[in-house]
Amino acid sequence: MRRAVILLTLGVILAAVNLSIYRHEQVLRHGREILLRLAPVDPRSLMQGDYMRLRFELARKIQDALLRDRLPHTSGSGLVQVSVTPEGIARFQRLCGDKAPCDADAVILRYTLRRGRVRLGTDAFFFPEGEAKKYEDARYGIFRVGEDGEMILTGLR
């Protein structure tokens, strides 16, 4: 009996992990590509090698909207509606939620709040050692976005 419970638990865990991988692969394959304007940050970590810590202008606009609308802004997650220029650059439109649902045909991005800081997708981009010059002048993070607002960073431009 104990062995069956262990095998069942292991099977559920493996299924959950594989489902998560499948969902991320679908976003990478079929998600819409958008660009988020970067805000400057420090490009190195001695412990982790070459990487760029990322901040996005959109995160600042979300933070401003949370403060302006007096919404809780310490932890949790939410949705933001953006417009996308012909060049693919995402522009803040408004926050979405229970009181103000997102438009049905709008591009929606999911954000998280951690310790009062807005996070979009990821806050770091790792690159091969010695290639820092290649990314120094990057102005945008390139993301693939799923229909549910899930974002995966695919590169810098």
Domain definitions of the chain by residue range: 1-30, 33-156
Length of the chain: 157
From first to last of its 157 residues, the chain has per-residue pLDDT tens of 899 899 999 999 999 999 999 998 998 999 899 999 987 565 555 555 677 888 899 999 999 998 887 776 667 889 999 999 999 999 999 999 877 889 988 899 999 988 878 999 888 888 887 787 888 788 999 999 999 999 999 988 8
Give the torsion sign (CA, 151, 17, 104, 97).
negative
Q: Is the overall model pTM greater than 0.85, yes or no?
A: no
- Looking at the chain, the number of H-run helices and the number of E-run strands are 3, 11
Distance CA 8, CA 10 (A): 5
Token pair in block for residue 72: 């809780």
